[in-house]
Chains A and B, each alone.
Chain A
Amino acid sequence: MPPRAGPANPRGVSQRLYDCPQCGAPVKFESSIAVFAVCEHCRSMVVARNANVEAMGVMAELPPDLSPFQIGTHGEWNGSGFQIVGRVRVSWTDGSWNEWCVLTGDGRTGWLAEAQGLLMLSFEVDTKGLPQLTRKDCGAGRFFDFDRRRWVMTDVKEATCLAGEGELPFVAAPNTERLGVDLIGTGGKFGTLEFDKDGTRLYVGDYVEFSDLKLQNLRPVPGWSAEVAQEKYRTAALSCPKCGAVVNLRAAGLSMSAVCGSCSSVIDTADTNLKIIQKAKDAVSALKPVLPIGRRGTLRGTQWEVIGLCVRKDQWVSWSEYLLFNPWAGFRWLVTFNGHWSFVTRMPEIADLSGTAITMGDREYKLYASGHAQVTGVLGEFYWKVRRGEHAMLNDFIAPPFILSKEFYKDLKEFTWSHGEYMPHTEVVEAFELEDVDLPTGIYLNQPNPHAEKWKTLKRQWVALMLAVVGIQIFFAMGSRTHEIRSEHLDFDRDAQTAAAAVPPVIPASPLAEPPQTSLTNVQVTPRFKIDGGVSRVDIEATAPVDNNWIGASVELVNAVTNEKFPAEIEVGYYHGYDSDGSWTEGSQQASVSIPSVPPGEYFMTVETSADSAVRKMPLDLRVKRGGLFWSNFILMLLLVSVYPLTVLVRRHLFERRRWSESDYSPYTSSSDNE
Chain B
Amino acid sequence: MMRHPIYLCLGVLSAIYLSFANARGWSLLHTVNPARIFGGSGHGSSFSHK
Contact = CB atoms under 8 A, between A and B. Distances in A.
Interface of A: 454, 457-458, 460-461, 464-465, 468-469, 472-473, 476, 480, 534-538, 550, 566-575, 581-588, 590-598, 627-630, 632-634, 636-637, 640-641, 644-645
A106 B25 CA distance: 84
Nearest to A631: B27
A461 B4 contact: yes
Interface string B10-50: 11001101110111111111110011111111111111111
Size bracket, chain B contacts: 35 or more
Given A458-B7, A587-B46, A630 B39 contact: no
11 contacts: A468-B11, A480-B22, A535-B25, A586-B44, A586-B47, A592-B37, A629-B22, A629-B25, A633-B27, A637-B14, A637-B15
Contacts of A598: 25
A644 B18 contact: no
Contacts of B26: 535, 596-597, 630, 633
A641 B13 CA distance: 10
Which 8 A-B pairs have CB atoms at the shortest separation, nearest pair first? A588-B40, A537-B25, A476-B22, A465-B11, A630-B27, A591-B41, A536-B25, A568-B35
A461 B39 CA distance: 37
B42 A569 contact: no
A632 B14 contact: no
B41 A641 contact: no
Contacts of A464: 11
Nearest to A456: B3
A573 B42 contact: yes
A629 B19 CA distance: 11
Nearest to A640: B14
A596 B43 contact: no
Interface of B: 1, 3-4, 7-8, 10-11, 14-15, 17-19, 21-31, 34-50
Contact of A633 (B7, B10, B17, B38): B17
A641 B10 contact: yes
A12 to B, nearest CB: 60
Contacts of A632: 27-30
B2 to A, nearest CB: 9
B22 A584 contact: no
A581 to B, nearest CB: 6
Contact of A593 (B28, B36, B46): B36
B30 A630 contact: yes
Contacts of B44: 586
B10 A644 contact: yes
A595 B42 contact: no
A7 B39 CA distance: 105
Nearest to A538: B25
Contacts of B1: 460-461
Contacts of A633: 17-18, 21-22, 26-28
B4 A473 contact: no
A640 B14 CA distance: 8
B3 A572 contact: no
B18 to A, nearest CB: 5
Contacts of B40: 573-574, 586-588, 590-591
Given A566-B35, A587-B46, A633-B26, 5 more contacts: A465-B11, A535-B25, A567-B34, A586-B48, A630-B26
Contacts of A573: 40-43
Contacts of B25: 535-538, 596-598, 627-630
Output the residue of A476, A566, A645 with the most chain B CB within 10 A: A476
A645 to B, nearest CB: 8
B29 to A, nearest CB: 5
B7 A476 contact: no
Contact of A587 (B15, B19, B34, B42): B42
Contacts of A582: 49-50
A644 B7 contact: yes
Nearest to A636: B28
A457 B40 CA distance: 45
A534 B39 CA distance: 26
Contacts of B8: 461
A143 B9 CA distance: 61
A330 to B, nearest CB: 37
B20 to A, nearest CB: 9
A384 B19 CA distance: 71
B23 A476 contact: yes
B12 to A, nearest CB: 8
A582 B49 CA distance: 7
